[in-house]
Amino acid sequence: MDSELDPHSALAMLHWQIDLGATEAIGDVPVNRFEAPKTLAQPVSAAAPARPASPAVADQVDPVGEARAAASAAKTLDALKEALARYDHCALKRGARNLVFADGQPDARLMIIGEAPGREEDMQAKPFVGAAGQLLDRMLAAIGMDRHASDVAQAVYITNVLPWRPPQNRTPNAEEIAMMRPFVQRHVDLADPEIVVLMGNISCEAGLGRQGITRLRGTWGEAYGKPCLPMLHPAYLLRNPAAKRETWTDLLELQARLEEQT
């Protein structure tokens, strides 16, 4: 580091980085700079079989198994939130400011499962409070639903597959989704909604084991042992306003199903 850097220059450099689009001072995973490099780069023989990086650690830790055990031991939603807070195998946790667990009424008939917190959600520790969340609230209002309603008939319960914000809002990877899936399953078991909405591709991947939301949307399926309706993600609708037509159809379908089951 340049020790001559005065506070004014440091601030100017920071503004410059922000202007360039930097939003985080952190990477994907923490770097331990005290740790000596384990191996120096070596020429790799084409014939040599690849060796796992650290077999001892890889053999011991089963992040998905530990997630299953931790999630099924939780007997209440509060206990599930605590279990997530204690769960240490997801590197995203260390880059996030807050654990984003849920919002709305746990007793609601409708549970919405999104993808992952963004910047606003990470700061406020609540799901869907940024631009996409505001659109989601308007979509729900259009069919008389409201996450702030205390009346179960209008109430909504909202969560995400991932409780921690991925750096730069990158798409969660397969391992991260697999680790969080047992917690989402338990979350649905404990909240016990009548209907689950899967918002976007990542939510379909976690709930149905497949993506392709533009084909899956609007067709009832089953996820986490509940009837589920995949829908386009509101963040996608913000970028593709023309797709709001399809979402309107899906919202009416959702409303009809809720009325039917009353």
Q: Kindly state the smallest distance separating residue 230's Cβ from ligand URA, in Å.
A: 9
Nearer to ligand URA, 72 or 168 (CB): 168
- Asked if 166 is part of the footprint of ligand URA (rule: CB under 6 A), the reply reads no
- Asked if 114 is part of the footprint of ligand URA (rule: CB under 6 A), the reply reads yes
Of 87, 101, 128, 183, the one binding ligand URA (CB under 6 A) is 128
- Asked if 193 is part of the footprint of ligand URA (rule: CB under 6 A), the reply reads no
The string of DSSP letters for the chain reads: --TT--HHHHHHHHHHHHHTT---S--SS---TTSPPSS---PPPTTSPPPPS-HHHHHH--HHHHHHHHHHH--SHHHHHHHHHH----THHHH-SS----EE-TT-SEEEEES---HHHHHHT-SS-SHHHHHHHHHHHTTT--TT--STTT-EEEEES-SSPPGGGPPPPHHHHHHHHHHHHHHHHHH--SEEEEEHHHHHHHHHS---HHHHTT--EEETTEEEEEE--HHHHHH-GGGHHHHHHHHHHHHHHHHHT-
Of 117, 166, 172, 182, the one binding ligand URA (CB under 6 A) is 117
- Asked if 182 is part of the footprint of ligand URA (rule: CB under 6 A), the reply reads no
Between residue 36 and residue 95, which ones bind ligand URA under the rule CB under 6 A? Answer: none
Between residue 224 and residue 243, which ones bind ligand URA under the rule CB under 6 A? Answer: 232-233, 235-236
- Asked if 127 is part of the footprint of ligand URA (rule: CB under 6 A), the reply reads yes
